[in-house]
Structure 1
Amino acid sequence: MQNPRTSQTDESTDLLSHAVKIADLASEAARGYFRGALGVEFKSDESPVTQADRGVEAQVRAYLGQHFPDHGVFGEEHGFEGRDCREVWIIDPIDGTRSFLSGHPLFGFLLGHLVDGKPDIGVIGMPAINEVFTGAAGQGATLNGREITTSAQTRLDQSILFVNEGDKIYRDHPTLFDRLMHSGQTRRLAYDCYPHALLAAGHVDAVIDYDLQPYDYLPVLAVVEAAGGVMTDWQGRPLDLSSDGRVISAATPELHGEMLDLVNG
């Protein structure tokens, strides 16, 4: 009789294998559009959407429909299908459309697998620089197949801090933005998923982010946690489909606690 725990591990490994294959397909599709002629529209929130966003997500949905017809799919461009399914795939076809449109290579592809709304597998693909970060519960995190872990940094005053969506944080929380600009040993302003990936790989110690959607943070959550990091909302609550889009990633629980203290004054 097969051990149930072994069976679960085998299933998770198989799902991760499919997720990496999907990331490869999505990356190839995105590179076909990158720095080319793009048809661009603006959504109601004034964020741009391109042929690439729709084209990449359509390819991913076709793959998932073929291999996992009983799973739900939630994507940025084509909405939620199978909302009542226990297992759901969540997709951001081009994470960082503004970066993509401007020829900046640090746009990403995000894919997560959720069970009962919680991510157990996440993939951060970086098509233009040929990097794929993976994370799976109980299996650790990898970069291009090589194991990665977060840093051991516990002190904010000695940390490398990335502030994502700094213009929005400055607009809505100017006092917090000022505190952030005087925090950490080194700080950088950035956007999109790559700073969180760098945190999972041990190069960045903390990231604060703002105004995200579930397809922005849930795939990343799986990678950060699998690498040994901590990622929550600004109040320290676990992230789920209904979180408010304000997140903190940190390499260690101690550093995460300092970030929470900083954000909440």
Structure 2
Amino acid sequence: MDYEKVLKDAIQYANEAGEYLLKQFYEDFKIDLKGSKDLVTEVDYACEKLIIENIKKTYKNHNIIAEESGKHETDSEYTWIIDPLDGTINFTRGIPIFGVIISFEKNGETIIGVHHLPAINQTYYALKGKGAFLNDKPISVSNNDNLSNFIIGTGDFNIGKNNSERDLDNKLLSTITSSLSPMTMRTKILGAACADLAFVASGKIDVLFYAFSNPWDVKAGILLIEEAGGKVVQIGDMTIFSNGQNLDEIKNVFI
């Protein structure tokens, strides 16, 4: 498998999907509830269909896992994982922080990750062992090792498929705001994994906390962060995406 070509194709698929999202961003579209605290739009479905069709033109025998339509399984060792519109709620409210996430795996190991943020014309990508990039320029996590200067981030809160997941979200928020935020400079909630994890990888955010996550939200971003020199660690149900600095001090807040 020529992974350089697969990466080029993945970026193209993300860019084409991003062009579609931008066209729809200023139009009226149908919005439905997906669970009690989440939304899905006709744009999500149409964009996902576009990406899947593009993948199948060249990689017809590969597995695909898509947020909205689920698993498209074959017996291949290769799998594409796609989030066609990450940050749907932002999108529906006219907030230009949304994007396309695509990752590519071989036997469960992430080889390629792409985050495309069309509204700000930024494409982050990584190929395992080759580094991480933003618009073709190398990126790295921040070298900030002073916790008092940290910009920290969290995912949205009061979300999840059930009360248990929402309780995890809100408990994490409470701990962050009461114990960790006072030790740092600022706390950000952007509302989209495509931006959250890419901003850690590129040094804009020093550390990020998610109570739980879906594979289409984080697999590409984990590769971005690791290839940019960062670390991803798990504490119970919480994931920490970081520049690797001050981790012991940070973890002590939650233990």
Partner of 1:33: 24
Cα distance change, pair 115–156 in 1 and its aligned pair in 2 (3 A): farther
- Using the TM superposition, give the Cα deviation of residue 45 of structure 1 relative to its aligned residue in structure 2, in angstroms: 4.5
- Out of 155-164 and 97-106, give the one that drifted further: 155-164
- Using the TM superposition, give the Cα deviation of residue 92 of structure 1 relative to its aligned residue in structure 2, in angstroms: 0.5
3-state SS of the aligned residue for 2:246? helix
Q: How do 1:129-208 residues align onto structure 2 when only pairs under 5 Å count?
A: 129-167=120-158, 171-173=170-172, 175-177=174-176, 178-193=178-193, 194-208=195-209
Cα distance change, pair 170–60 in 1 and its aligned pair in 2 (3 A): closer
Partner of 2:239: 247
Match of 1:70 among 51, 61, 65: 61
Alignment check: 8 A CA contact 2:61 2:74 kept = no
Q: How do 1:6-85 residues align onto structure 2 when only pairs under 5 Å count?
A: 11-82=2-73, 84-85=75-76
What TM-score do you get using the length of structure 1 for normalisation? 0.85
Alignment check: 8 A CA contact 1:233 1:248 kept = yes
Gaps of 5+ in 1: 1-7, 236-243
Number of residues paired by the alignment? 245
Which residue type is aligned with residue 115 of structure 1? K
Alignment check: 8 A CA contact 1:165 1:210 kept = no
- Using the TM superposition, give the Cα deviation of residue 80 of structure 1 relative to its aligned residue in structure 2, in angstroms: 0.6
- Separation of aligned partners in 1, 2:225 and 2:51: 23
- Using the TM superposition, give the Cα deviation of residue 175 of structure 1 relative to its aligned residue in structure 2, in angstroms: 4.7
Alignment check: 8 A CA contact 1:125 1:131 kept = yes
- Using the TM superposition, give the Cα deviation of residue 82 of structure 1 relative to its aligned residue in structure 2, in angstroms: 1.4
Cα distance change, pair 43–184 in 1 and its aligned pair in 2 (3 A): same
Gaps of 5+ in 2: 159-165
Which residue type is aligned with residue 24 of structure 2? Y
- Using the TM superposition, give the Cα deviation of residue 15 of structure 1 relative to its aligned residue in structure 2, in angstroms: 1.1
CA RMSD of aligned residues (A): 2.0
Cα distance change, pair 256–26 in 1 and its aligned pair in 2 (3 A): farther
Alignment check: 8 A CA contact 1:74 1:80 kept = yes
3-state SS of the aligned residue for 1:182? helix
Identity %: 24
- Using the TM superposition, give the Cα deviation of residue 84 of structure 1 relative to its aligned residue in structure 2, in angstroms: 4.7
- Using the TM superposition, give the Cα deviation of residue 133 of structure 1 relative to its aligned residue in structure 2, in angstroms: 0.4
Q: C-alpha deviations, 1:109-156, integer Å up to 9, x for none?
A: 100001121211101110111110001111111111111111112343
Partner of 1:221: 222
Cα distance change, pair 112–97 in 1 and its aligned pair in 2 (3 A): same
